[in-house]
A and B are shown apart, each in its own frame.
Chain A
Amino acid sequence: MGSEKPKIVAFCCEESGMPAYEHAKSLGLPLPDALKVIALPCGGKAETGYIMKALDEGADAVMIFACYEGNCKYVQGNIRAKKRVDYLKTRLESLGILPEKIAFCPVAPASGARFAEMVQEEVQALDSRENKS
């Protein structure tokens, strides 16, 4: 059985994040067992409520995988998601939650390597924060 930590929730845009995740899997790239993947029709569907709920249920980090700027099928979905994440970060601090726990990650659909890399970076960031405290 795989390890239960770190619990990372990845909200993935159906147009970019999901294909990138599938690609990473098909390449056999290492991803944490406890990674939870949630497909959304657009990165812009990643609501504040979803992100907060994930943190509330005990996620160690939440990542939002969306399209690169200028590539959104719905014109501004990715930009909206990014703005929402930025705003949420400013609010998290006042709630005593580390803003670093949420990350906005643009990714191309055929870029499984980048997907895995960004997840690994998040894992390392989590590790180093844990070691510090």
Chain B
Amino acid sequence: MSTQMNSVLRLPESLTPEIQEISIAPVVAVPTDHPAGLIMADYLASMGLKVTLIHPFETVGAILETLNEEFVIDSAVEERFLALIARVEENKNISVLNNTRVSGGKGWWGDFSLLVDGEKEEALKASGIAFAYRKQAVVKKPFENDAIIGFREFSALLLKGKESITPTGKALQKLAFVLDLGKRDEKWASMTAIKLGTYLKKAFGVQVSILCRELKVSSDGMEKAYREAREAGVIIYKYLDEPQFEGGASLSINFRDTSFMSDDNPLDVSLEGLDLVVLQESFVTAEDEKALLDGLHIGLEGAYVAPNNPQFAGRTSRKGVVAAGNSRLPETLADMETTALAAAEELYQWTGNGTYGIDVQRVAEVDPSKCATCLTCYRICPHHSIRIEPYGERNVYITKGEKEGATWEAARVLVETCDGCGLCVSECPAKAIQLIYYPDMDVYGFLKENL
């Protein structure tokens, strides 16, 4: 064993890049009801793009009301945002559609259209889309009690500098976080509970318990945070079935814990005399956002792709569409502002230059004579970059007016928006797709030679 050379097969650069110029009009749409939308509109307009801001309120200023709901803001922050509103209202590059909702969307990078219901129903054309919506936080309390609150409310308390005080005014000595209540996994809640719990334990000696169904440690930073929490004395339980809450003068939680023993051998645990219980809330997606995501085939998951490279903050799974604000995750004010700027910058890269050179080799290609039109690739392509179209002969596409001459229908990769990920290639049951720049034979050949 040593650190000598291993045989490595790298992704090929296209051998002879074949660049196709396409033109993209510098026109974007910003559907929003969140301050992050204002930040993106402001940035994009200042870079010279034509921006349509679409929002459901009477005035642009009303978008700011959400700021108070979500974050703790002081007068300096307020001034900054009032100035932002003024800029947005004055900028000639921004046209504002007040009282307007989004009911759908379709298209591709360079050619999106949004269905909007305002004074009149219309389809709005845009090369790119930057959206930001709020999410409504819903805390499902087992019963009414001021000492049971959600994460968002708890963060607000902490930001006000009242770490050691509960909403009921008592000193905070015993605290429990309850995660994963009857809902899908979300990493942010584990992360927040672990970090806040460790801090409160260390700084104020608060006795902290974290109850979860499954602790999400599937990222490297998380493992470290988890260890630190353990070392600080934060107790982490894994409950088997929904914990039972009991109220009255003092709060308690009863549940069966499996963190010490196995699932078949749970321990009954009762946490008593709690001063505060923080529940993981669920977030309800805004109607407009849902319509937009459905129309564009992004889906909630695609809206918060969190790629390993933080440089891509704001990216969604589709080229030419970026997201910020709650459309990603609940975040702090500073994070919200940075993500919004990063998202706007990303969209500017895609839509700000007028024309683009695309290497038409770094994409996938369908052999229509093999395609069984099963629609697998159409369904799974993260960029929604595959259409089913009539073909003439290989790679000669029949345009609409020429339909008669078409011999069969087959999948076709849209060169402009394909990112060359190869997912369609590996899932096509007919083996009808290849990455032009990296055909399967490269891999097979390498294996043959090197094993």
Residue A73, interface by CB 8 Å: yes
With A7-B451, A31-B3, A42-B423 already in contact, the answer to whether A71 and B11 are too (CB < 8 A) is no
The distance in angstroms between the C-alpha atoms of A14 and B13, with both chains bound, is: 13
Scoring A32, A68, A106 by chain B CB atoms within 10 A of each residue's CB, the highest score goes to: A68
Are A15 and B308 neighbours in the complex by a CB distance under 8 Å? yes
With A30-B2, A45-B422 already in contact, the answer to whether A70 and B187 are too (CB < 8 A) is yes
Are A37 and B218 neighbours in the complex by a CB distance under 8 Å? no
With A37-B9, A38-B9, A41-B438 already in contact, the answer to whether A74 and B3 are too (CB < 8 A) is no
Chain B residues near A53: list those with CB within 8 A.
Answer: 443-444, 447
Residue A67, interface by CB 8 Å: yes
The distance in angstroms between the C-alpha atoms of A130 and B358, with both chains bound, is: 50
With A44-B421, A108-B308, A111-B220 already in contact, the answer to whether A37 and B8 are too (CB < 8 A) is yes
Chain A min CB distance to B381 (Å): 9
Chain B residues near A76: list those with CB within 8 A.
Answer: 301, 380, 382, 423
Are B301 and A108 neighbours in the complex by a CB distance under 8 Å? no
Residue B59, interface by CB 8 Å: no
Residue A25, interface by CB 8 Å: yes
The distance in angstroms between the C-alpha atoms of A76 and B6, with both chains bound, is: 29
Residue B7, interface by CB 8 Å: yes
Are B3 and A25 neighbours in the complex by a CB distance under 8 Å? yes
Are A50 and B422 neighbours in the complex by a CB distance under 8 Å? no
Residue B273, interface by CB 8 Å: no
The distance in angstroms between the C-alpha atoms of A21 and B220, with both chains bound, is: 16
Chain A residues near B451: list those with CB within 8 A.
Answer: 7, 9, 36, 54, 57-59
For chain A residues 54-108, which have a beta carbon within 8 Å of chain B? 54, 57-59, 67-77, 80, 84, 106, 108
Are B309 and A29 neighbours in the complex by a CB distance under 8 Å? no
The distance in angstroms between the C-alpha atoms of A130 and B213, with both chains bound, is: 38
Chain B residues near A50: list those with CB within 8 A.
Answer: 440, 443-444, 447
Are A71 and B306 neighbours in the complex by a CB distance under 8 Å? yes
Are A2 and B302 neighbours in the complex by a CB distance under 8 Å? no
Chain B residues near A54: list those with CB within 8 A.
Answer: 447, 451
Chain A min CB distance to B346 (Å): 13
Chain A min CB distance to B308 (Å): 5
Give which listed residue, B9, B317, B440, contacts A74 with CB less than 8 A. Answer: B317
Are B421 and A41 neighbours in the complex by a CB distance under 8 Å? yes
Are B11 and A14 neighbours in the complex by a CB distance under 8 Å? yes
Residue A118, interface by CB 8 Å: no
Chain A residues near B219: list those with CB within 8 A.
Answer: 68, 71, 108
The distance in angstroms between the C-alpha atoms of A3 and B4, with both chains bound, is: 10
Are B2 and A33 neighbours in the complex by a CB distance under 8 Å? yes
Give which listed residue, B4, B423, B438, contacts A80 with CB less than 8 A. Answer: B423
Are A74 and B423 neighbours in the complex by a CB distance under 8 Å? yes
Are A106 and B2 neighbours in the complex by a CB distance under 8 Å? no
Are A68 and B218 neighbours in the complex by a CB distance under 8 Å? yes
Are B446 and A28 neighbours in the complex by a CB distance under 8 Å? no
For chain B residues 397-429, which have a beta carbon within 8 Å of chain A? 419-423, 425-427
Residue B450, interface by CB 8 Å: yes
Residue-wise, chain A 8-47 has the 8 Å CB interface mask toward B (1 for contact) of: 0100001110100100010011111111111111101111
Residue B71, interface by CB 8 Å: no
Are A33 and B425 neighbours in the complex by a CB distance under 8 Å? no
Are B422 and A42 neighbours in the complex by a CB distance under 8 Å? yes
Chain A min CB distance to B350 (Å): 16
Chain B residues near A111: list those with CB within 8 A.
Answer: 220
The distance in angstroms between the C-alpha atoms of A111 and B221, with both chains bound, is: 11
Are B307 and A73 neighbours in the complex by a CB distance under 8 Å? yes
Chain A min CB distance to B444 (Å): 6
Residue in chain A with minimal CB distance to B221: A108
Chain B min CB distance to A106 (Å): 7
The distance in angstroms between the C-alpha atoms of A54 and B187, with both chains bound, is: 35
Chain A min CB distance to B302 (Å): 5
Q: List 10 A-B contacts (CB under 8 A).
A: A30-B1, A31-B1, A36-B450, A37-B6, A45-B422, A45-B426, A50-B444, A70-B187, A73-B309, A108-B219
10 closest cross-chain pairs (CB), A and B: A45-B422, A57-B451, A47-B426, A74-B382, A73-B307, A37-B8, A42-B421, A38-B9, A75-B317, A35-B6
User: Can you add 19 more A-B contacts, CB < 8 Å, to A41-B11, A47-B425, A50-B444?
Assistant: A3-B1, A15-B307, A31-B3, A36-B6, A36-B7, A36-B447, A36-B450, A37-B9, A38-B446, A45-B421, A47-B426, A53-B443, A54-B447, A71-B306, A71-B308, A73-B312, A74-B419, A108-B220, A108-B308
